[in-house]
Structure 1
């Protein structure tokens, strides 16, 4: 039994030592946040129930000096009401009941002596010190190690079994079998959050009795003691949305408040920066609009030398001579003289094409050159109308008449005439000037008319 209890004690000590490694939640969480100095609501009251093992064996002191060195494990149960005053400090009223028993050998001879103490009741007021819940980086502890110490009063009855197996009721020096005495409870343990209002409570408590009567033997100078290893549940009183004082971390709340304020300040500054950027963008747009309006004052879209702002006749064709308002100058009156008509008539007379083609024969060039000079010098306009006889298809004759008119235009332009002042049209066989029944008539119908204006 002693070996098992030693292992249990070492295990409990290891859990307590290691709990600090994972006793906090992520600092990002704000479920346990209370604004610092705001007096915000927190849960401070809780009740607990527990059950476990009672034994005279303890982890404190030399157990070999106790009256009974073969401790037995008995069932105990209890509960408490706790008031948390700060995240670290609380007071709790404990109740405990159960039995404590032990044996003492008789050097291997006879029945071992023993005792059994029935703990009718015990009440204690203890301080509860919660550890590991103050951290700059974490908002809420998941596991809360704690220490307890206090003072209590209890009532118990003890029976003794001698080596012969006889059982008698123990009486103290005052002859009392129902004994009431003070004791000092000292404990440690940890709580694990199972929910917003429920904690798992694992603890170990040593009770130092202020006498040597507890085990029925009043010998030596050492007071009796017994331990209580227990597991239980703690129920927090209050809304599940309200933070628990024992897990509330005021230091982290200060940090959270600082971070929030800093983020609000950054957001406010960013908003101001964005507002200034918007103003700058508006000024830039206004400046661009102004520059665009100014640019309009220097634009001459049609290139006639008159700015658009003063141009009363926009989109004037390129090369057109205009007045100060950008409007075309009145064209001078053009007179076609008899000599001009003679030059054109001579060109028509000498005009020849290869048979069935739009190729101008070389003998026609001199008279066409004089027509080109006339167009260039006097800026005349010329209309060319190509015609054919009815030999061949209408489509072929239409194409041939158009190609011959275009061939003449191309030649005149190559000699310097203004292409925009020459119109070339083909009429095919649709406008005969003589009968197509005779060779002479067909010869007359194969022609290109020149109209000078």
Structure 2
């Protein structure tokens, strides 16, 4: 008996030491907690665990077929999917041995009337599907819980072999493996060691649907056995994500509210500071607006030339007015008959390609003389383009404007000052002849030069 417990103690100690070593080698830096209402993809939702511990027969509200139970080694594993912070689904495996004998007397000093002195059951396997309920996610504590109490319950199937020992021999209860269903109900505590590792301490009561686990039928009862274990749970999904099973949405909502409130208070304080600074600046500006330190009639707020001597005449900006007596004699522009002849010749010789604003080369010599006239006497020139009534009004207006601009561009290319040339188009709105004849329409297609 003592050797069994020594083995179990050594196993538990080994699990604890290995978990501490693993925790030291694992990143334990704080994990960023996702904000409230984050999707499940922000958390680690899959995990698997391994455990070992004490497997023993148990009596609850029923009769016992053997008086002395023998604790033996059990081992298990599971994989868990966390659906919500407090609820998950866990598939579990359990194996080990169960032992008991009749070496102990009952309370009245008698022994059980049983044909067997002891039994040994090898639980070859047991598989179950369990609901997992985490109790650490429903109270107002930390957003990520380090200590996590939990409950489990489910349904499963187990297979085992039973050897029973009588006063004369040891026999197999059933030549073939016995298969029975069972209901596991458990509770425990998990401790967060690192971001993706938890220490698991648990107790599980298993209710077998039959009275074959100890190899002896003694009446209408069902067998039961317990499993006390210590183990490790490894979280899958990366070290940067917290476990959904350790996430507390109620505390996270409270923390989010506190953070938002603090941010709002800080924003309001900053706004009050900005308003106070603006009010102080307004008071300073108002004081400057009311003062006129140099007495020049312009307030200090607008005075760009402070400390102006008394009696100095200033402008609206408070700066001294500079008075000059320079008289500019206007230049009189005289247009001679020769000048008009040059312009008239250019008008007479001006020709464009049909329906276009392109000047024909035959017009260049007379236009060159007009450019020389503008350069030598600094005249101004107004160009007015006109068309006949053939075509739409919009097209004629554009063509007349383009032809006037074309003449201006040519004169500028010959050195004339562009600022002294104005080009305007009037389209068909100002005819000088009838548009009913070819000669009249030709007269109306013109560019007029006005020299001044």
Q: TM-score, normalised by structure 1?
A: 0.55
* Contact in 1 for aligned 2:136/2:248 (Cα 8 Å): no
Residue 379 of structure 1 is matched in structure 2 by none
Per the alignment, in what secondary structure is the counterpart of residue 230 of structure 1? Answer: strand
Residue 96 of structure 2 is matched in structure 1 by 98
Q: Kindly state the Cα deviation for residue 281 of structure 1 after the two structures are TM-superposed.
A: 1.8
The answer to whether the aligner puts 1:162 opposite 2:166 as a matched pair is yes
Residue 450 of structure 1 is matched in structure 2 by none
Q: Kindly state the Cα deviation for residue 295 of structure 1 after the two structures are TM-superposed.
A: 5.0
Distance 1:32 1:167, change over 3 A: farther
* Contact in 1 for aligned 2:197/2:235 (Cα 8 Å): yes
Bigger radius of gyration: 1
The answer to whether the aligner puts 1:143 opposite 2:142 as a matched pair is no
* Contact in 2 for aligned 1:32/1:244 (Cα 8 Å): no
* Contact in 2 for aligned 1:43/1:237 (Cα 8 Å): yes
Structure 2 CA distance for aligned equivalents of residues 290 and 195 of structure 1: 67
Q: Kindly state the Cα deviation for residue 308 of structure 1 after the two structures are TM-superposed.
A: 9.4
Q: Kindly state the Cα deviation for residue 260 of structure 1 after the two structures are TM-superposed.
A: 2.1
* Contact in 2 for aligned 1:186/1:206 (Cα 8 Å): yes
Q: CA RMSD in A?
A: 3.1
> Aligned pairs, how many?
272
* Contact in 1 for aligned 2:31/2:195 (Cα 8 Å): no
Once the two structures are superposed, the pairs formed by residues 80-119 of structure 1 within 5 Å of their partners are 80-105=78-103, 107=110, 113-119=117-123
Q: Kindly state the Cα deviation for residue 182 of structure 1 after the two structures are TM-superposed.
A: 0.2
Residue 244 of structure 1 is matched in structure 2 by 243
> CA offsets per residue over residues 235-286 of structure 1, 9 Å max, x none?
0001111111110011111112212222222232223222212211211221
The answer to whether the aligner puts 1:72 opposite 2:70 as a matched pair is yes
* Contact in 2 for aligned 1:121/1:154 (Cα 8 Å): yes
Residue 230 of structure 1 is matched in structure 2 by 229
Per the alignment, in what secondary structure is the counterpart of residue 68 of structure 1? Answer: coil
Residue 37 of structure 2 is matched in structure 1 by 37
* Contact in 1 for aligned 2:210/2:223 (Cα 8 Å): yes
Q: Kindly state the Cα deviation for residue 288 of structure 1 after the two structures are TM-superposed.
A: 3.4
Per the alignment, in what secondary structure is the counterpart of residue 292 of structure 2? Answer: helix
* Contact in 2 for aligned 1:199/1:233 (Cα 8 Å): yes
> CA offsets per residue over residues 331-382 of structure 1, 9 Å max, x none?
xxxxxxxxxxxxxxxxxxxxxxxxxxxxxxxxxxxxxxxxxxxxxxxxxxxx
Q: TM-score, normalised by structure 2?
A: 0.55
Residue 182 of structure 1 is matched in structure 2 by 181
Residue 279 of structure 2 is matched in structure 1 by 280
Once the two structures are superposed, the pairs formed by residues 367-382 of structure 1 within 5 Å of their partners are none
Distance 1:108 1:221, change over 3 A: closer
5+ residue gaps in structure 2?
Answer: 9-28, 297-306, 313-452
* Contact in 2 for aligned 1:32/1:248 (Cα 8 Å): no
Per the alignment, in what secondary structure is the counterpart of residue 283 of structure 1? Answer: helix
* Contact in 2 for aligned 1:101/1:117 (Cα 8 Å): yes
Q: Kindly state the Cα deviation for residue 309 of structure 1 after the two structures are TM-superposed.
A: 5.8
Q: Kindly state the Cα deviation for residue 134 of structure 1 after the two structures are TM-superposed.
A: 2.5
Q: Kindly state the Cα deviation for residue 167 of structure 1 after the two structures are TM-superposed.
A: 0.3
The answer to whether the aligner puts 1:126 opposite 2:130 as a matched pair is yes
Per the alignment, in what secondary structure is the counterpart of residue 238 of structure 2? Answer: coil
Q: Kindly state the Cα deviation for residue 296 of structure 1 after the two structures are TM-superposed.
A: 4.9
Structure 2 CA distance for aligned equivalents of residues 83 and 247 of structure 1: 13
Structure 2 CA distance for aligned equivalents of residues 308 and 153 of structure 1: 106
Residue 253 of structure 1 is matched in structure 2 by 252
Residue 268 of structure 2 is matched in structure 1 by 269
Structure 2 CA distance for aligned equivalents of residues 308 and 187 of structure 1: 95
Residue 49 of structure 2 is matched in structure 1 by 48
Q: Kindly state the Cα deviation for residue 294 of structure 1 after the two structures are TM-superposed.
A: 3.1
Structure 2 CA distance for aligned equivalents of residues 235 and 34 of structure 1: 20
* Contact in 1 for aligned 2:102/2:111 (Cα 8 Å): no
Q: Kindly state the Cα deviation for residue 108 of structure 1 after the two structures are TM-superposed.
A: 7.4
> CA offsets per residue over residues 172-200 of structure 1, 9 Å max, x none?
xxxx5311110111111111111110000
Structure 2 CA distance for aligned equivalents of residues 30 and 198 of structure 1: 14
